[in-house]
A and B are shown apart, each in its own frame.
Chain A
Amino acid sequence: MSLEGAIAVTRFGLGAKDGEIKQASRAPKDWLLGQLRPNNSSHAAFKDLRPSDEIYSFSRQYKTARKTMDGDALTAASRVYGKAVRQNFNAEVTARSLYAAQTDTPFHERLTRFWSNHFSVSARNRNTRLFPGAYEREAIRPHILGSFYELAISAIFHPAMIIFLDNDSSVGPNSKRGRKNNIGLNENLAREALELHTVTPAAGYTQADVTEFAKALTGWRIARKTQDSQKQGQITFQESSHEPGSRSVLGKLYEEKEAKQALAILKDLCARPETAQNISHKLAMHFVSDEPPKALVSKLKKVFVKTEGDLTALYTALVNSPLAWAPKAQKIKTPEELIISTARLIGLEKVMSERPRDTYDSLAQVPFTAPTPEGWPDTAKDWLGPDALIKRIEWANELASRMPDIDGRSFLKTALGRQLSPQTLQAVSRAESGQQAFAMALMSPEFQRR
Chain B
Amino acid sequence: MSDFSRRQTLGLLTGAAFAATPKISFAQGIEGRKFIFIILRGGMDGLAALIPDDKEIEGIRGHILPAQNERLNLGNGFRLHPSFTGLKDLYAAGEAAFVHAAATPYRERSHFEAQDTLETMSFAGAKEGWLNRALAAQGQAGLAVGRAVPLAMKGPAPVTNWSPPLFKEAPDDLLMRLSGLYENDSLLASQLLAAQETSEMGMEISQRSARRFTKEYTIALSTLGELMSVDGGPGIGMVGLDGWDTHNGQANQLIRNFTALDEALIALKNSLSGAWEKSCVVICSEFGRTAAANGTRGTDHGTGGLTMLLGGAVKGGKIHGNWPGVKPAALYKGRDLYPANDITSILKGVMRDHLGIKRHTLDTKIFPNSGRAINGLIRV
Contact = CB atoms under 8 A, between A and B. Distances in A.
Interface of A: 127, 166, 169-171, 173, 178, 183-188, 191, 195, 201, 207, 210, 332, 362, 364, 371-372, 374, 380-391, 393-398, 421, 423-424, 427, 431-432, 436, 439-440, 443-445, 448
Given A207-B333, A387-B147, A443 B161 contact: no
B131 to A, nearest CB: 15
B177 A398 contact: no
Contacts of A372: 111-112
Interface of B: 108-113, 124, 147-149, 154, 160-163, 165-171, 173-175, 177-178, 180-185, 187-188, 191-196, 198-199, 242, 247-248, 294-296, 298, 300-301, 333
Given A207-B333, A394-B167, 14 more contacts: A186-B247, A207-B108, A384-B191, A386-B160, A388-B191, A390-B165, A390-B170, A393-B178, A398-B168, A439-B170, A440-B178, A444-B181, A445-B185, A445-B188
A424 B162 CA distance: 28
A423 B294 contact: no
Contacts, number: 144
Contacts of B247: 166, 186, 188
A390 B296 contact: no
Contact of B295 (A169, A436, A443, A445): A169
A390 B180 contact: no
A234 B300 CA distance: 26
13 contacts: A166-B296, A183-B295, A191-B110, A195-B110, A201-B124, A382-B148, A386-B192, A388-B147, A394-B166, A394-B167, A394-B169, A397-B168, A440-B181
A369 to B, nearest CB: 12
A186 B245 CA distance: 13
B256 to A, nearest CB: 12
Given A371-B242, A385-B191, A170 B295 contact: yes
A362 B248 contact: no
B318 to A, nearest CB: 34
Nearest to A384: B191
Nearest to A448: B188
A443 B168 contact: no
Contacts of A424: 181
B162 A397 contact: no
Nearest to A361: B166
B10 to A, nearest CB: 12
Given A387-B195, A423-B184, A397 B170 contact: yes
B154 A381 contact: yes
A207 B109 contact: yes
A387 B161 contact: yes
B110 to A, nearest CB: 5
